[in-house]
Amino acid sequence: MSIHSPRATTAHRPTAHRPTGQGRSVPAVPALPASPAPRTYALAAAGLAAIGPATWGTTYVTTTELLPADRPLLAAALRALPAGLILLALTRRLPRGDWWWKAAVLGVLNFGAFFPLLFFGAYHLPGGVASTVSAVMPLLVAGFGIGVLKVRPSGRTLLAGLVGVAGVALLVLRGSAAVDPAGIAAMLAATTLMALAVVLSKRWGRPEGVSLLTLTGWQLTAGGLILAPIALTAEGLPDHLTGANIAGYTYLGVIGTAIAYALWFRGIERLPASSVSFLGLTNPVVATLAGLLLLGQTLTTWQLGGLVLVLGSVLLGQSGGARRAQQK
């Protein structure tokens, strides 16, 4: 929801349009005038969007402590499909036109392929190592943005991305951390897919009259329908589910997926792609804090320094995005 009236906003810049895939276009969010208000608006949008990756930071501890062992495909399917079907039942709207294939592509990138790779990495790597790999997402988004969005990253964005990677490395890596090459490859592939999904979501926007919950439901259902038969064939169902297993799946499906992704997609819609990507760095911060609070881990001086660098990287990325929004 805009904090300016349409009259006041469009006086500064004509409203752009984005395609809907149905022969019509829906006005994109108009550029805001250069004033303190756009910065406040951007920071508020960033705060809500950051809830998504902050919630994902608990995926590692949830997977290792609550879910059945060695079932990444089943975990991915149960995280995506039930949440997608619930959102479809609540919103009662299906895609139209080219949004059938667009929702399918985004569903595969965000869920159908991303979730299995994510859980594979969670099962084969310490949470800190997995988070370190995912810290390269701002740099990947910057690279994809050149080809897809025709936006060249600023020096501030590249610097913030490098600072973020260094900070996450200091925050979560330890000399005793086990490194599984297969797990590293899986997390790098997952991060690359998510970065591409961010850029494509920014390019395609949202069809006219469709809510963010509806769009989220389309993608979750598409990804879940791909995952379910593969999971049942390759892994099958466990002999029984404990109360902890059910609690873990429910938490990941409702809080960590349906709600978290709706807020994440909202941020993609309202913020520059580069700014959104830096919010993903809250993931390793929360993963580290979860280890402190739930697993009895402690922080060294180097890790505290890494935490400061990560937070600085996030703020640097957001300040650059707010300034670009004012200059448009």
Mean pLDDT by 10 residues, the chain (328 residues): 39 46 48 52 82 86 87 92 94 94 96 90 72 76 82 78 78 60 86 92 91 94 95 90 94 92 90 81 78 69 76 71 47
Q: Is residue 111 part of a domain?
A: yes
- Using alpha carbons only, give the angle 167, 168, 172 rounded to the nearest 5 degrees: 125
Q: Is residue 310 part of a domain?
A: yes
Q: Is residue 247 part of a domain?
A: yes
In this structure, the number of other CB atoms found within 10 A of the CB of residue 322 comes to 21
Total of domains in the chain? 1
Q: Is residue 53 part of a domain?
A: yes
Q: Is residue 233 part of a domain?
A: yes
Length of the chain: 328
Q: Is residue 67 part of a domain?
A: yes
Both tokens of residue 55?
């919630």
Say whether 236 sits in a helix, a strand or coil: coil
Domain that residue 166 falls in: 33-327
Q: Is residue 14 part of a domain?
A: no
Say whether 32 sits in a helix, a strand or coil: coil
What is the pTM for the complete model shown? 0.74
Determine the pLDDT at residue 126: 67
Task: Name the nearest CA neighbour of 227 among 121, 311, 107.
Answer: 107
Q: Is residue 18 part of a domain?
A: no
Determine the pLDDT at residue 101: 97
Determine the pLDDT at residue 6: 39
Determine the pLDDT at residue 4: 40
